[in-house]
């Protein structure tokens, strides 16, 4: 492993630089933004299918399927940390730590706040129970996979004396997010001069700006306080559809706002018309988490929704401008 250095001072949490990192995934959204930040301080190898090349950022690429043991065996260096952005199925972590031939100092698993047991009505800290009930569809499979992986990392890394850290982000947003979430609404604003107003949406939810989430990864690397720990990642604000749309309007230019139509619509009607409804729309879907541990132990200050959505709008403006 490389000689590592400590960066920081009295007024900021120290973090380690000069590490040799292996990123599994790393070409889409969260992983991509993390790699773009990490190469400023570390040596980075990215293992992914090669759909999007990362060579422009100065990384080493290993292309292939993460479920292929022969591909994982090509990861043969001494890695100070492995950061896994695309573990979704039970067995993914176990296979990685078993087949990667290089040394692993720390394994960082990107999980989700959706892994928590639902329906308690409390603001969840990291000690809240995980969800072991079965839910239907893709969402249910996603939750089940992340819960299984969180339990797997404790067992698989513990057996091999590998330090581990679990990160549980809330709804990620920001540049490079081409999922039908905030980008879809920005596209509607710029190309259709319209935004919906969900007249019966009373759900509440939490965001985390993707660059904040990337900074959390950097702050747990080589951080002994973060070993065998999990962290919630979420902004301070509790968001509703109304406050979300207001943040988008505040980010837009006067020329866009001048002709912008607000279209009242129910959630059911929106879904029937294939209008995106990507966030919890009903109060019974509301699940909230505390960010106090990540603020206290990692020294993170989360970006406000207004600032983060402003940056996101500007990032997508040239993409969607007619």
C-alpha span between 8 and 288 (Å, rounded)? 32
Lookup: tokens for 61: 């690429």
Q: What angle do CA 94, 171, 21 make, to 5 degrees?
A: 40
Residue for token pair 């980010």: 251
Contact 247, 306 (CB under 8 A): yes
> What is the SS3 assignment for 188?
helix
Inter-CA distances, 252 with 175, 213, 240, 246, 247, Å: 16, 24, 19, 10, 9
- Helices 92-99 and 137-159, axial angle in degrees (round to 10): 40
245: Cβ–Cβ under 8 A, 6 or more apart, which residues?
Answer: 185, 195, 196, 197
Domain covering 5-172+207-233 in this structure, CATH number? 3.40.50.720
What is the pLDDT tens value at each position of the chain, 322 positions in all? Answer: 554 554 554 334 567 889 999 999 988 899 999 999 999 999 999 999 878 888 889 999 999 999 999 999 999 999 999 999 999 999 999 999 999 999 999 999 999 999 999 998 999 999 999 999 999 999 999 999 999 999 999 999 999 999 999 999 999 999 999 889 999 999 999 999 999 999 999 999 999 999 999 999 999 999 999 999 999 999 999 999 999 999 999 999 999 999 899 999 999 999 999 999 999 999 999 999 999 999 999 999 999 999 999 999 999 998 998 7
pTM for the structure as a whole: 0.94
Domain ranges of the chain: 5-172+207-233, 177-205+238-286+303-316
């Amino acid at each position: 492993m490389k000689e590592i250095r400590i960066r920081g001072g009295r007024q900021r949490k120290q973090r380690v630089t000069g590490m040799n990192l292996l990123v599994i995934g790393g070409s889409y959204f969260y992983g991509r933004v993390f790699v773009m930040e990490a190469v400023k301080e570390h040596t980075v190898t990215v293992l992914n299918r090669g759909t999007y090349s990362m060579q422009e950022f100065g990384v080493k690429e290993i292309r292939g399927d993460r479920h292929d043991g022969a591909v994982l065996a090509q990861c043969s260096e001494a890695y100070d940390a492995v950061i896994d952005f695309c573990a979704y199925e039970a067995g993914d972590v176990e296979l990685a730590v078993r087949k990667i031939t290089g040394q692993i100092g720390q394994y960082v698993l990107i999980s989700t706040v959706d892994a928590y047991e639902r329906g308690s009505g409390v603001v969840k800290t990291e000690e809240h129970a995980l969800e072991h009930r079965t839910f239907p569809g893709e969402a249910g499979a996603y939750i089940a996979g992340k819960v299984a992986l969180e339990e797997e990392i404790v067992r698989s890394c513990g057996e091999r004396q590998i330090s581990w850290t679990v990160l549980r982000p809330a709804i990620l947003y920001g540049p490079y997010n081409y999922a039908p979430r905030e980008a879809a609404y920005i596209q509607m604003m710029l190309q259709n001069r319209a935004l919906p107003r969900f007249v019966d949406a009373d759900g509440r939810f939490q965001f985390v700006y993707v660059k904040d989430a990337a900074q959390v990864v950097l702050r747990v690397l080589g951080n002994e306080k973060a070993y065998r720990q999990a962290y919630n990642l979420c902004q301070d604000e509790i968001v509703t559809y109304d406050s979300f749309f207001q943040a988008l309007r505040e980010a837009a230019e006067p020329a866009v706002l001048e002709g912008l139509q607000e279209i009242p619509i129910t959630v059911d009607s929106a879904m029937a018309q294939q209008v995106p409804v990507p966030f919890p729309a009903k109060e019974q879907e509301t699940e909230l988490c505390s960010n106090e541990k990540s603020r206290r132990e990692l020294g993170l200050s989360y970006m406000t929704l207004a600032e983060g959505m402003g940056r996101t709008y500007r990032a997508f403006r040239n993409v969607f401008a007619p």
